[in-house]
Chain A
């Protein structure tokens, strides 16, 4: 495409906040435009890089609308196209690209002004896009291509793992695939280690696509860099997954905070949560759960409740909730191996841990385990980081914790209590960040949402969800339109810390299989695997 054919039109009005209106030339067809596509604007002093956020139609004379010309009359439409009737683009300028050598070295900068009247607008060239999103090189992971372009959009993974990140999208829009891809990226580039709470057992060994085709997880690609932990050994055996460790959790490891988090899920009253704390004070953090579960009723129990000033009804409510937990087979009165230590051992060696939940897909189990393990891991990390800072040693390896159904952990009611709320807020201080995956971002606490560094969102159509994902982003209204028009598969809008500007990508399908091959020495089979990933 040469310079002339890339020309789209000229800037006619606009503002920095609301974006710029571009009148299309007669030979640029409105129907060839698409929201989310990139354009460059040749200002007098600098070049601007922006994204099309709306396409509209205009006429110079309203009479034309009252008496439309015959649509079959080619001559009329040839003459009126671009003159009496014309297309308009709404462009959101995002970055300025330098023109001098110094500016080019410095790279693109956020816009602080807008191009002058009648500046020429062109489709962005491959070089422009490359200049903005960088090349696939060390620390950068190729995630997809912009719409209708071959250029690679690369995430700066080093920046990415410094903040908590989110992957959002309706069910079936490719969140799992994107997560898998990002985990592969982080593994491949070695920027961090991951701990994945894998609710549906689909990241470790293999999962299933929508078409019910088996797709490989992380371990087959990187056998030496991934360990699979399981809560459900039987399920793993049935699925013929070789696991590295079967996680058992002792009653003594469950603290009243863990129960507080499950209040809604277990349908507990506020009073029964308080009762759990009272029991813990009485029997100690290690023994309280076992003691309650051992209470047999009768005189002794009544006396105890009386002493603790707990109402009979409150006790029953608490007891019923705890019985639900007791039924989880991976909970044992006392676990021999400490799963937290085991996980940390692996993470310290730079091995990523995927914890499969097997059949225990109910949210109570997931929340209990994820919260419990994460809290302890986070504490350890905090201690280590503080020590390392004190002794001027290297900080622990950055850790990314992946959780699904994030709104259950991070909703406004519990985000103050769960460790995930803390991690999301305190962010990178202790080198632990989150990768949250969720289909209802509106359920996540605003405060947590605002701390999420990079958001990758597939199609969302619920007004509230869109609103919450885009909160605080400049050009929010424009991006709304873009987000609502994503295709339901394989397309995602990425914005935030790891990309210089919001970008719609067609998520890579397969491609740099060779690069995985370097790790696995099985290029051919890997290539085939990646082809079937979707």
Chain B
């Protein structure tokens, strides 16, 4: 199993938020991550990430006026690494139980302090054999535009395939069917998907 990258700090049935162990150590937008929850492996797509102060009352201030580079700021104020944190939010798109992948919501939400891992190429491949999860993606309201989320997710998944283009065409066809008459939406996604 790959190394854990974060720990869940907020969870509900449809999504969870995790804090990265290292500042800026964030999985890419749209990538597939997983977390264990009893005998279930919850699978989800990263849809949002933030970096900010650990204390909501204290906003970071600009410090680099006299520093030559960005790195130098962190070098001269090492405490910053501890005062700031990166978080990412994940949309739950399915789970795996007894070796079978299900692309619908799991019976229970993720647990707080559950470890989060980035899925391997094989896992992404296994997950993207079915495209049922697209329905969850296009029917959930999140902070970023739908076209961005869907296209980012498909681009990430396509990396696991030997022929990314044919995967993208197949997935995009499924999207066109799902989105029916919403040509504007389809067009926006297709423009972001073009290999």
Contact = CB atoms under 8 A, between A and B. Distances in A.
A76 interface: yes
B173 A83 contact: yes
B190 A76 contact: yes
A75 interface: yes
Contact of B181 (A26, A61, A69): A61
A75 to B, nearest CB: 5
A78 interface: yes
A75 B190 contact: yes
Contacts of A76: 190
Contacts of B165: 75
Contact of A26 (B173, B190, B193, B195): B173
B67 to A, nearest CB: 45
How many B residues touch the partner, as a band? 10 to 19
B181 A63 contact: yes
Interface residues of A, number: 16
Nearest to B178: A83
Contacts of B195: 75
B190 A83 contact: no
A60 B182 CA distance: 9
B169 A60 contact: no
Contact of B169 (A63, A69, A75): A75
A87 to B, nearest CB: 15
B194 to A, nearest CB: 5
Given A67-B187, A69-B187, A84-B186, A79 B173 contact: yes
B176 A80 contact: yes
Given A75-B190, A75-B195, A76-B190, A84 B183 contact: yes
A78 B177 CA distance: 14
B184 interface: yes
A69 B173 CA distance: 15
A82 interface: yes
Interface string B163-192: 001001100110011001111101100100
B185 to A, nearest CB: 10
Nearest to B165: A75
Nearest to B170: A79
Interface in A12-69: 26, 60-61, 63-64, 67, 69
B181 A60 contact: yes
B138 to A, nearest CB: 15
Contacts of B173: 26, 79, 82-83
B163 to A, nearest CB: 13
Nearest to B174: A83
B190 A61 contact: no
A76 B193 CA distance: 10
Contact of A60 (B168, B180, B193): B180
A265 to B, nearest CB: 65
B80 to A, nearest CB: 44
Contacts of B194: 73, 75
B184 A78 contact: no
B158 to A, nearest CB: 12
B170 to A, nearest CB: 9
Nearest to B176: A83
B182 A61 contact: yes
A61 B193 CA distance: 20
A67 B183 contact: yes
Given A82-B173, A83-B176, A84-B176, A63 B184 contact: yes
A61 B168 CA distance: 21
Nearest to B169: A78
Contacts of B172: 75, 79
Nearest to A81: B173
Nearest to A69: B187
Contacts of A75: 165, 168-169, 172, 190, 193-195
17 contacts: A26-B173, A60-B176, A60-B181, A61-B180, A63-B184, A64-B183, A67-B183, A73-B194, A75-B168, A75-B169, A75-B190, A75-B193, A75-B194, A79-B172, A79-B176, A83-B176, A84-B186
4 tightest A-B contacts by CB? A63-B183, A83-B176, A79-B172, A61-B183
Interface of A: 26, 60-61, 63-64, 67, 69, 73, 75-76, 78-80, 82-84
